[in-house]
């Protein structure tokens, strides 16, 4: 996230109206609007890899993967754009946001990781529907998953591991999630394979 866009507190209605016409995405936190920064290629690759795997896995179910252009409504004071979400039975006519994701993924970057690890973690875990919150490093290999079923205790996965997404009944290799990602850990992994 970048700096606050306006010094004035705005209503949630003003925020939602503005998002309909804005060319830039904004998150809404406690009356303040924050412009979303563009992502780096590694960030896009990780999000795209997960979105593609989730989408394929869920294609014949009532659940679907959505990307970072779809908002999650957390409370009267918070709207966020997660990198990837899984939603189920979205039939309420709302085509811009959800209140009931079952899984949320945030790919960490230097400018967002503090909010992703603290403010967003607490906000997302307050959603009754959420089963898993996933944080993924892009500069090195580390996938952190916290699950409601384990009291939100974090588990970490690294190269050579398989990650089980409990809410989706899906297992993926860490190397698949990081496919085409260019960081030192992946370079070493690929050199060892050849």
Task: Give the CATH number for residue 172.
Answer: 3.90.1570.10
The alpha carbons of the chain give a radius of gyration, in whole angstroms, of 17
Q: Give tens-digit pLDDT for 113-151.
A: 999 999 999 999 999 999 999 999 999 999 999 999 999
23 shares its domain with 47: no
* Alpha helices by DSSP H, 87-165: 113-117, 119-125
Query: Mean pLDDT over residues 166-189, rounded?
Result: 96
Q: Check residue 70 and give its pLDDT.
A: 93
Long-range contact list for 23-30, CB < 8 A, 24+ apart?
25/68, 25/69, 25/81, 27/1, 27/78, 27/79, 27/80, 27/81, 28/77, 28/78, 28/79, 29/77, 29/78, 29/119, 30/77, 30/78
Q: How many domains does the chain have?
A: 2
pLDDT at 182 > cutoff 60: yes
Tokens of 6: 């306006």
70 shares its domain with 138: yes
Our separate counts of H helices and E strands in the chain read 6, 13
Q: How confident is the model at residue 7 (pLDDT cuts 50, 70, 90)?
A: low
Expressed as residue numbers, the domain containing 103 is 39-193
27 shares its domain with 116: no
In contact, 64 and 70? CB cutoff 8 Å: no
The percentage of residues in the chain with a pLDDT greater than 70, rounded to a whole number, is 95
pTM of the full predicted structure?
0.92
Q: How confident is the model at residue 194 (pLDDT cuts 50, 70, 90)?
A: confident
Q: Give tens-digit pLDDT for 54-89.
A: 999 999 999 999 999 899 999 989 999 999 999 998
């Amino acid at each position: 996230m970048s700096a606050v866009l306006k010094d004035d507190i705005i209503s949630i209605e003003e925020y939602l109206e503005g998002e309909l016409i804005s060319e830039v995405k904004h998150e809404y936190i406690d009356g303040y609007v924050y412009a979303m920064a563009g992502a780096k290629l590694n960030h896009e690759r990780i999000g795209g890899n997960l979105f593609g795997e989730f989408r394929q896995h869920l294609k014949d179910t009532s659940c679907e993967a959505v990307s970072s252009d779809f908002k999650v409504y957390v409370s009267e004071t918070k709207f966020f754009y997660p990198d990837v979400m899984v939603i189920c039975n979205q039939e309420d006519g709302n085509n811009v946001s959800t209140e009931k994701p079952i899984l949320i993924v945030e790919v960490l970057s230097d400018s967002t990781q503090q909010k992703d690890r603290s403010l967003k973690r607490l906000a997302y875990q307050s959603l009754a529907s959420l089963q898993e919150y996933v944080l993924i490093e892009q500069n090195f290999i580390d996938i952190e998953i916290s699950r409601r079923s384990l009291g939100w205790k974090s588990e970490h996965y690294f190269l050579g591991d398989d990650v089980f997404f409990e809410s989706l009944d899906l297992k993926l290799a860490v190397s698949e999630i990081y496919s085409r990602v260019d960081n030192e850990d992946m370079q070493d992994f690929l050199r060892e394979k050849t």
